[in-house]
Structures are given as structure tokens and as C-alpha cells.
Structure 1
Amino acid sequence: MKLTRKLTAVATAVLLATAGCSVGSSSSGGQAGGGNQAFGANAELLPARQKAHDTMKGKKIAFVPILFKGYQLTENWGSTMKRTFESMGAQFTVYDSNFSSDRMLSTINDLIARKAADVLVLQNQDLGLLDNAIDRAEKAGIYTVVLNMMSTRLGDAFVGVDVYGAAQAIAKRAIADCDARHAAKTLSVIDGPGNDPASILWDQGIKDVAGSLGYQVLVGHSQFQNAQAQATAESVIQQQQGKLCGFLVTFDLNSITVGQTVKAAEGRGQVAPGSIGVYTLDADSNWCGALKQGLVTASAAYDVQGIGAAGAAAAQNLIFSGAKPGSGHDFAYVSSTVVDKTNVDQTTIACYKSQ
């Protein structure tokens, strides 16, 4: 019930921010960017419902994430949006980029060239990667909604977590743990490629907290690949020789691998048990399992399902608004909170699954 209220609140916020319109107009809705609002100031309940369904029927929404198959984060967004759009008669299609920037851009360019989508729902892999694609989509009359990994060109709507704020929160938690153990003031960040929005904000949030408290921050890259995260963690453990207090890993799945690496080092006697904490961003069901196993310490969990719901709401209201693509640029954050063994089972936004 608490989760339902949270998702309703998130979706409602995006509805109001994105649409700028209300219910019950006699003007005809239809094509994206056609200039006609679907709704006006007054409404009758059932006619308003029918108008919403009629306006969305046949609309094409294309979701182009960095990775989809087997990745609970984007599968969760996709399942939420699929339920929403298909219930209204719209077509929802996922195009899996499988960690390939070239494939992502090729897919987006093809969709734009064929005008095969009314709304593109995108996840940005590199800070400036989607700028030109968003510009071309706008000129082709296609709306763009960006989820979680912000582009330097906003598109029509962005919704995601405040990565910088979440990084600051988890850095404070890690430092509190280190201080309680009287540990060495050295933290190791393992981010993604380093030039993606999440890595940039994660790194800076941690540095701004840690630097002010006299902590040294090492930075290594994983490309969001488990094998590379493991190799980076092993190298840092070897180099620091017991003078490392914790790893701060940009996303939860890579943090599980890092936690396993730390546990293996403990087993070899390379580091003392419990001397290195493992902290991260996001908390899917796999991470929660690792938490119970003692592989990871804490995470800045955020409202993943809320992002999917808000993305679906943003797409609907862009279509309902009739506004020209690119004429508005809306922005919204979802909630995040630090979770560990003491509160994870009571936190509705933690331990989510694909469906």
C-alpha cells in the first residue's frame, strides 16, 4: 500500500509538471506535437477516461536502454511502462543496446528516420552521446523522455535519482563506519566508464564529502562490467596493503562482485575480516541477497519503479499536451535513502525485481 501511494505521488508530480493542461477539452487530440490538447479545464469521469484511451491508442513508444535483458533495473522500468501503455492501446517496444553506444545510436537514428515512434524513452550511456539524437527527434516531431542518466540536452522530460545527493549520503555513512573502526582514511571509488552521467555525479558527490573530512579518495573504472570491477578491487586491495577502509561502487550489481572480492581477500588473510566496507547506489533483489550474506554493507536505494511510472506518465502527458517536441524541458527526481541490514526489509524502494 505504501509503495502504491509513492508511485501515485511520483506519477502525479510528473503529470502536473509535464502536461500543463487539465481535463475535458472539446479540441481533438491525436498526433504527437499536433498542437491540440487532449484535455481542457473541465471533465466528466468516463468521457475523460475514454478520451485518454482514444488519444493513446495506436501511439508508438520506443524504449532504448543501455542494457535490458537480464538487468533488473531496466527490466523493471520496461515492465512498468509496458503495463501502462498496452492497457491504453499503445504499442511499447524495447530495443536492447546491450552496452553498445553504436547500437544505441543506430537504433535511435533508424527510429527517427522512419518516424517509427511518437515517444523515445532513452537512457544515456555517455554525457553527450544523445544530444544530437534528441535534437533530430525534436525536428522529426518525436518526443524524448530520458530516464536516470541525464544528457546535456534534456529532451522533453527527465526523471531519475539525484545521484550526487545519493553519493553524498552513502559517503557520509561509509565515513561514519570508518571512523567507528578507527580505520585508515582511504576510500576507493569504482565507477563505470567515468565519463557517463552516473559516474561523474557519483565521484563528485563522494569527493566533496570525503575531502572535507580529510579522506583520500582513489578512483578506478569498471565500465559497469563485473570482471573489470573485480580486477580493479583486487588491484586496490593489493596496493593499499590493509590501509583501505571501504569501496564505493557506482551500481549495486558491480558492488556484489566487489564484495565477493573483499570476502576472498579476507579468506586469504590479505585483509582483516570486516575491515573493508562495500557501499553502492541502488538495491535490487540480488543486492539484498548479498546484504544478507554479508557481502555488502549499505546502499543508497532509490525508487526504481517510480522512475518507470513517472516515465510512463511523462510520455502520456506529452502526447496529451499536443505541445511541439522540444518546446518544454521538464525535470524530476525520485526519492532515495540509505539501507542496510537494520532497515532494508522495511524500505519499500529496496529489493525490487524485474517484474
Structure 2
Amino acid sequence: MRIGKSRMLRISGLAAAAVLAVTGCSTGGSAQTAAAGNNQVPPTASAGELRDHALNSLQGKTAAFVPVGMGTPLMEEWNRQLERGFKAAGMNYVLRDPNWDTAKQAEAVQSLINDKPAVLVVHNFDVQILAKLIQQAQQAGIYVIQINMVSNYKSDAFVGADTIDLGRRIATDIVAQCGASTQTSHEVQIVQGDATSGFTLDVMAGAKEVFDQHPEIKIVSTQAANWDRTKAHDITATVIQQHPNLCASWGFWDQMQYGAAAAIKEAGKLGQVKVFTSDHSNIACEGVRDGMFFQSYGYSVPTQGTDIVAIAKYLVQSGQAPGTARIADYTPLVKIDKSNWNQPNMCYDGKNDGLTVR
């Protein structure tokens, strides 16, 4: 699934994201009690004292990242931004790559809990796998930030796309292309990621709100390709044989959905079947450029990385106990289509700043 170059969309940072804070949700534990109330700066502190507090709070502390697996622009870009940001803050940075293995991911998180970094950033395979370990990490005095796919257990912070709104937006766009006002079959295929991931569940919840209001839309296939391009191709090749008048194919990740687009192209149906997806790696912009994708939605992946660093620095400096608050930082959504795919910073590749797809 390694794909190569991509591009970037810098819009704001933490200030432009929607932030929700809910307090009073402590998970308990002596490490938390010890942390609470310490490390505070009085409002009358001098600029030098504030600076010393900030730098000394972070210096030599460790931040760790456990993705689902490296090797795609999405994971590479997160890793690039996290490594750059944490090292610039004087912190140590650790990456533990489970290589798309759920058991190895859980082992990596457990090992890090034993190592006690100050901050742990996790990308959940599904809503349950890391839930107990996230709670255990917070009880051990570790701040936990979840990225883009939320767990059933909510940690100190979540940074990612507003996937419920993403589902609504794409479903609305599909209705515009395949709904009652169009001369089409109204048939739609959905290619999910992992069926139990927070991303999939929330996107489907948002889409349902729209599709329930448009009974003319016929969802002829809803299958999980588990974020795999080959599976998306094979599923779609079968669907297009069974439904030759298909109007749209919607896959939840650009790198996975490219396989579905390839199957549609092989069937000679590109153009008739409009291919929808999300993310804004280079594969999305190149896909729109080449007519493989009708549109995609980007969710400011480079900004997600910088926002995580900003939130982590706040948590470490604050002195508050892990598990005493919950915040959600939703990064901006931007539609990518023929009108704007080649705009500066529209897509990212996980390697470079300012990538321009041509």
C-alpha cells in the first residue's frame, strides 16, 4: 500500500480547529494525584519565568507514537510532523510501528506504558482494541492523544477529522450526482475501511442522516476492504459486474479507494461511475487530475500533526492529571475536485513541505 508523493493543506492550526473541553472525568490513580496541582505558573510570573517553566517542563520528556502501520503518506506525514515538532520542543521522540498488526500494536502500547513517556499518541485500529490500555496509560500518569480514529475510551485529547460531518458532506454530494433529480440508476457502492473503526462508524452515521432523507438512493453494496487497495479493487470488480449501471462508488480512504477506481476503469465505466473518497495525499490529487476520482475531501493532515504537538505541550506544561479532561480538535475539511486539485498545499506526500502535484 505504499504510494509515494503527496501534498499539503495548511489552514490554521489549533486556533482554527473546533475544540471541546469536558472536565471532571478523572480515571483515578496515585500518579494522577501527584501530578495535579503541581507545575503551575502564577499569573504574575515574569516573561522569563514563563519561558523557563515552558522549556523546563518539556526538556528531556518523551513523546511516543504508535500508528496502525507506516508506509503510506498519511502515516509518514503524521510521523514527520510529530518528530519535527517534539524534537524542536526539546523532547525525545519514539516511534513504534506495529506494521498493521493489531496484536503488535497492543504490545507496543503496553511496552510504552512500562517505559512511561510523558505523552502517548495512538491511532486506533478499531474502537475497542486499545481502550483498556489507554485507560491504563492515563492511570500510569501518561497523557494520551488519539488521532483520526477514536476509541470507545476517550483519552485526554482527540485530533482528527470530524468524521460525522465528513459522512454528511460526501453523502450530500452523492445525492447531488445520483439522486432523484438525476437521470441515473441511483445505485451507490460503499467501500468501508475496517467495519469497527471509529472512522468508519462515524462516517456511516453521518451518511445515514442524509441517505435516510433520500430513499431513491439505492446502496447496492456496503463492504469493508480493511483499508487495503487490492481488496477494494476485487470487491468493486464484482459489484460493477452485478450492477453495470452503478452511479457512484464511495471509499473511505484515497489510498484504498484507488483500487476501486482501477476496477471501474478496467470495466470501462469511469465517468459513468463517479468515484468519491477522502484524505488528501498525493494519490487524491493525482486521482482527480487523471479522472480516477470525481472528488475527495481533505482533512488537513499536516495540521493534525502540528496540533497534536501543541496540545501535548500544553498538557505537559499544565500540570493537570492525565484523564481529568477531554478535548477534541477537529481539523478543517476541504473538498478537492477538478476546480482546485492543483492549488498550492492542497495535497501532501509525507516527505516534503509545499508539494505541488502537476
How far residue 196 of structure 1 moved from its aligned partner, in angstroms, is 0.8
Give, as a single letter, the amino acid of the residue that structure 2 aligns with 1:163: T
Alignment-derived partner of residue 239 in structure 1:
242
Alignment-derived partner of residue 337 in structure 2:
340
Per-residue Cα deviation, 1:47-94 (whole angstroms, up to 9, x for no partner): 4334322210110111001112x2111221221121111112110111
How far residue 201 of structure 1 moved from its aligned partner, in angstroms, is 1.6
> For 2:265, which of 263, 266, 271 is the aligned residue?
263
Give, as a single letter, the amino acid of the residue that structure 2 aligns with 1:250: F
Give the whole-Å Cα distance in 2 for the aligned partners of 1:168 and 1:347. 27
Alignment-derived partner of residue 356 in structure 2:
none
Alignment-derived partner of residue 311 in structure 1:
308
Alignment-derived partner of residue 254 in structure 1:
256
Q: How many residues align?
A: 333
* Matching of residue 330 in structure 1 with residue 327 in structure 2: yes
Higher relative contact order (CA 8 A, sep 6+): 2
Alignment-derived partner of residue 25 in structure 1:
none
Give the whole-Å Cα distance in 1 for the aligned partners of 2:252 and 2:11. 28
SS in 1 for 2:12: helix
Q: Residues 156-175 of structure 1 correspond to what in structure 2 (within 5 A)?
A: 156-175=156-175
SS in 2 for 1:212: coil
How far residue 34 of structure 1 moved from its aligned partner, in angstroms, is 5.7
Give the whole-Å Cα distance in 2 for the aligned partners of 1:353 and 1:32. 42
Distance 1:77 1:17, change over 3 A: farther
Any conservation in 2 of the 1:166–1:337 contact (CA below 8 Å)?
no
Give, as a single letter, the amino acid of the residue that structure 2 aligns with 1:233: T
Greater fraction helix: 1
Give the whole-Å Cα distance in 2 for the aligned partners of 1:4 and 1:163. 19
- TM-score w.r.t. the length of structure 2 is 0.86
Give the whole-Å Cα distance in 2 for the aligned partners of 1:239 and 1:186. 11
Deviates more, 1:247-256 or 1:202-211: 202-211
Per-residue Cα deviation, 1:214-238 (whole angstroms, up to 9, x for no partner): 2112201101111111111111111
Distance 1:81 1:33, change over 3 A: farther
Alignment-derived partner of residue 56 in structure 1:
58
* Matching of residue 6 in structure 1 with residue 12 in structure 2: yes
Alignment-derived partner of residue 298 in structure 1:
295
> For 1:282, which of 279, 284, 294 is the aligned residue?
279
Per-residue Cα deviation, 1:306-333 (whole angstroms, up to 9, x for no partner): 2111111111111111111111111221
Any conservation in 2 of the 1:160–1:332 contact (CA below 8 Å)?
yes
Unaligned runs of 5+ in 2: 1-7, 24-32, 352-358
Unaligned runs of 5+ in 1: 20-30
Alignment-derived partner of residue 127 in structure 2:
127
* Matching of residue 320 in structure 1 with residue 322 in structure 2: no
RMSD over aligned CA atoms reads 2.5
Q: Residues 102-117 of structure 1 correspond to what in structure 2 (within 5 A)?
A: 102-115=103-116, 117=117
* Matching of residue 150 in structure 1 with residue 146 in structure 2: no
Per-residue Cα deviation, 1:11-52 (whole angstroms, up to 9, x for no partner): 8x76x9699xxxxxxxxxxx9936323433245445433432
Give the whole-Å Cα distance in 2 for the aligned partners of 1:98 and 1:3. 27
Alignment-derived partner of residue 79 in structure 1:
80
- TM-score w.r.t. the length of structure 1 is 0.87
Deviates more, 1:334-343 or 1:173-182: 173-182
Alignment-derived partner of residue 5 in structure 2:
none
Any conservation in 2 of the 1:97–1:104 contact (CA below 8 Å)?
yes
* Matching of residue 352 in structure 1 with residue 358 in structure 2: no
Question: Percent sequence identity over matched residues?
Answer: 28
How far residue 207 of structure 1 moved from its aligned partner, in angstroms, is 2.9
